[in-house]
Chain A
């Protein structure tokens, strides 16, 4: 029971703490709040579960940790989709709203625009230190190169060269 209850409680508390902090502080980079929220939520979840299931044993404690960490990783990797609009989601939602009349490409071009999908992303990359701006010129930083290579590594090893977007 401990191996299921502790991580579920820990993740629920982490998401709650993170969401509250996000709403109140409105940070430029919500991902930075996640680590302290996860530590606080995880520890609190473990302590609360121990009150219900005392002495879980080392194997169940390990199972609980090995479930908690992937759940937090799932939340973390979903954050950009929560934070920013997805072009595909916006397109299918707009098409659905148009119903039987359908939507033209021109109408969709009004919904998918540079400000929301490119300029905003560039600003986000600057805030996170992955891109730097000198006057008009934008350059990728060493952190940006590492970030990019980390995501492209698997594709390169699998022999699939990918142009993102």
Chain B
């Protein structure tokens, strides 16, 4: 096992650690950066670091059989980053976590109590604010229209995956 070989194996995790550190520093130091934007920037920093470490290792390794290992390293980084993205983003968007937060004060609440504090109306308001803020939908004369299509494509992918996996 040579150092370049070990560095390929480690490169994805070093890049993922850089992703985490950069994201944490961005969130701590800049209040104006949204969580999603900070995750995007930190992902890109980690990606650059990954390519640098792969590039440095490439020079010292035999060409044959190296492409699958580089692909595995890149895929590992993308998967770890995807998991990290959702781990950080879920607390912003999760209805389940909000229900738990409402109950976390320790005082039992009835279902009606919870619905008075947090209901479909508040969900709709929060999500419309986010979606119009990010340009996914646009408002014109009180009506909503499709804007940027990123969320639409994500919704289509999840819908298709659900149909394939669950048949519904």
* Contact A158 B75, beta carbon cutoff 8 Å: no
* Contact B13 A114, beta carbon cutoff 8 Å: no
**A4 close to B (CB within 8 Å):** yes
**B94 close to A (CB within 8 Å):** yes
- Contacting residue for A96 out of B1, B35, B146, CB 8 A: B146
* Contact A118 B161, beta carbon cutoff 8 Å: no
* Contact B87 A151, beta carbon cutoff 8 Å: yes
- Contacting residue for A63 out of B72, B91, B119, B151, CB 8 A: B72
**B158 close to A (CB within 8 Å):** yes
* Contact B101 A148, beta carbon cutoff 8 Å: yes
**A44 close to B (CB within 8 Å):** no
Residues of the A chain whose Cβ atoms lie less than 8 Å from the Cβ of B1: 58-59
- Contacting residue for B115 out of A3, A63, A118, A137, CB 8 A: A118
* Contact A136 B152, beta carbon cutoff 8 Å: no
* Contact B119 A155, beta carbon cutoff 8 Å: no
Interface hits, B125-168 → A, CB 8 Å:
126-128, 130-131, 136-137, 140, 142-146, 151-152, 154-156, 158-159, 161-162, 164-167
- Contacting residue for B152 out of A1, A23, A93, A109, CB 8 A: A93
User: Number of contacting residues on B, CB 8 A?
Assistant: 80
**B24 close to A (CB within 8 Å):** yes
* Contact A136 B110, beta carbon cutoff 8 Å: yes
* Contact B144 A103, beta carbon cutoff 8 Å: yes
Per DSSP, chain B at the interface is helix
Expressed in whole angstroms, the minimum distance between the Cβ of B152 and any Cβ of chain A is 5
- Contacting residue for A70 out of B83, B95, B155, CB 8 A: B83
- Contacting residue for B72 out of A58, A64, A164, CB 8 A: A64
- Contacting residue for A91 out of B28, B131, B140, CB 8 A: B131
**Interchain Cβ contacts under 8 Å between A and B, 12 examples:** A77-B83, A98-B144, A105-B124, A108-B144, A109-B121, A119-B111, A138-B108, A138-B110, A140-B106, A144-B100, A145-B104, A148-B101
A residues lining the B interface (CB < 8 Å): 1, 3-5, 7, 15, 19, 22-23, 58-60, 62-64, 66-67, 70-71, 73-74, 77-78, 80-82, 86-93, 95-96, 98, 100-105, 108-109, 112-114, 116-119, 121-122, 124-125, 130-131, 134, 136-140, 144-145, 147-148, 151-152, 154-155, 157-160, 162-165
Given contact pairs A63-B8, A163-B101, enumerate 19 new A-B contacts (beta carbons under 8 Å): A4-B69, A19-B166, A77-B82, A91-B128, A93-B159, A96-B146, A104-B142, A109-B124, A117-B123, A122-B111, A130-B100, A131-B103, A134-B108, A140-B106, A158-B27, A159-B28, A164-B90, A165-B95, A165-B97
B residues lining the A interface (CB < 8 Å): 1, 5-6, 8-9, 12-13, 24, 27-28, 35, 65, 68-69, 71-73, 75-76, 79-80, 82-83, 86-88, 90-101, 103-104, 106, 108-111, 114-115, 118-124, 126-128, 130-131, 136-137, 140, 142-146, 151-152, 154-156, 158-159, 161-162, 164-167
CB-CB nearest 8 A-B residue pairs: A102-B143, A89-B155, A70-B79, A137-B108, A165-B98, A158-B27, A164-B98, A140-B103
